[in-house]
């Protein structure tokens, strides 16, 4: 169906109010990645059960599989059906053009990640291209997020231990964060403090003292990517420090796949996929609800 420009702008205003509330009330909003309609339903049910605002996010792979306009329509339909506060986040958009398409489709949150697509991009390139997206987003009021350099991992399950000496080389610095925000005009800074994309055999360790210093130096929103596999107490503290958005993907994917494999094994003669999915929905929903509780966003929805 698509939204009118007026409706898109109104949604973006509400999204900005949500970020303001998160800062004032010391909670973080979960940005939950969806691979398909089933994952979307699980996120919406969790948001409804916990009365929590949520960001429903897709990266380029999901965009190519589902389509920007289809994602927008699906989220709007389920948002109305479940009576929830939900927004759409374009995660790790690899180029100016892709980010602009997300803005045009009415996404309220846009993460432009030049360094993810081009690891050799200079900071000057990143600032220039991010600034162009920030300027373009003013038309709808979309909230733009970025970071000055690449930090590793991938949204998958990893067998190797975390090499923290290498990871620390990609940590954000308070002064670097301040300068990047000032140079680009972004609304949200994606901080690197030990968070890492994907799920590893050991728990992640976040440098909360560094996060406090970044918070002191910046007056914009702060996000944390790579939330999967992180002990929940870090999220509780990060929200109190002033993180407004936390991304979750791999934990949901693991729950989805493991549960689906279990259901298929237990029901070898069932071919009606719709009958196999309820237990899978529930497993993903449990993961999302657990994160919502840790983020402190329960009972924070405004519908």
Domain ranges of the chain: 5-295
Write the DSSP symbol of residue 149.
S
**What H or E segment, with its residue span, contains residue 33?**
strand 29-33
Burial, 209: exposed, middle or buried (Cβ in 10 Å; 0-12, 13-18, 19+)? exposed
Question: Which candidate in 35, 69, 76, 91 is catalytic?
Answer: 91
Task: Convert the pLDDT of each residue in 18-55 to its tens digit.
Answer: 999 999 999 999 999 999 999 999 999 999 999 999 99
| Mean pLDDT for all residues in the chain | 95
Task: Convert the pLDDT of each residue in 283-299 to its tens digit.
Answer: 999 999 999 999 999 99
Burial, 214: exposed, middle or buried (Cβ in 10 Å; 0-12, 13-18, 19+)? buried
Number of separate helices (H) and strands (E) present in the chain: 14, 10
**Is 193 a residue whose pLDDT tops 70?**
yes
**Is 58 a residue whose pLDDT tops 90?**
yes
187 catalytic residue (yes or no): no
Q: Is the CATH number 3.20.20.70 carried by domain 5-295?
A: yes
Task: Convert the pLDDT of each residue in 136-147 to its tens digit.
Answer: 999 999 999 999
**Is 118 a residue whose pLDDT tops 90?**
no
d(CA 271, CA 280): 15
The per-residue pLDDT for 160 is: 79
3-state percent helix, strand, coil for the chain, nearest multiple of 5: 55, 15, 30
Q: Is the pTM of this model over 0.85?
A: yes
Return the residue matching tokens 């965009």. 63
Task: Convert the pLDDT of each residue in 208-260 to its tens digit.
Answer: 999 999 999 999 999 999 899 999 999 999 999 999 999 999 999 999 999 99
Return the residue matching tokens 């605002």. 53
């Amino acid at each position: 169906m698509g939204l009118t420009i007026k409706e898109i702008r109104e949604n973006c205003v509400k999204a900005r109010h949500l970020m303001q509330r998160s800062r004032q009330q010391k909670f973080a909003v979960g940005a939950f990645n969806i691979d398909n309609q089933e994952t979307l339903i699980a996120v919406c049910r969790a948001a409804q059960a916990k009365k929590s605002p949520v960001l429903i996010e897709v990266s380029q792979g999901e965009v190519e599989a589902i389509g920007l306009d289809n994602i927008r329509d699906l989220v709007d339909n389920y948002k109305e059906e479940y009576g929830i506060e939900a927004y759409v986040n374009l995660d790790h958009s690899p180029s100016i053009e892709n980010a602009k398409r997300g803005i045009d489709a009415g996404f309220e949150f846009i993460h432009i990640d030049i360094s993810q697509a081009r690891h050799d991009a200079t900071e000057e390139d990143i600032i220039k291209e991010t600034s162009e997206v920030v300027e373009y987003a003013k038309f709808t009021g979309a909230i733009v997020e970025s970071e000055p350099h690449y930090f590793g991992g991938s949204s998958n399950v990893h067998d190797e231990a975390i090499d923290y000496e290498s990871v620390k080389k990609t940590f954000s610095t308070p002064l670097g964060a301040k300068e990047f925000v000032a140079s680009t005009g972004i609304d949200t800074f994606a901080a690197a403090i030990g968070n890492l994309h994907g799920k590893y055999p050991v728990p992640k360790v976040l440098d909360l003292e560094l996060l406090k210093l970044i918070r002191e130096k910046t007056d914009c929103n702060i996000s944390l990517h790579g939330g999967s596999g992180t002990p929940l107490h870090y999220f509780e503290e990060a929200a109190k420090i002033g993180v407004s958005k936390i991304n979750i993907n791999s934990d949901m994917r693991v729950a989805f796949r493991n549960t689906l494999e279990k259901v298929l094994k237990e029901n070898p003669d069932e071919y009606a996929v719709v009958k196999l999915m309820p237990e899978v929905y529930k497993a993903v929903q449990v993961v999302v609800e657990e994160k919502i509780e840790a983020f402190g966003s329960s009972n924070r929805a405004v519908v």
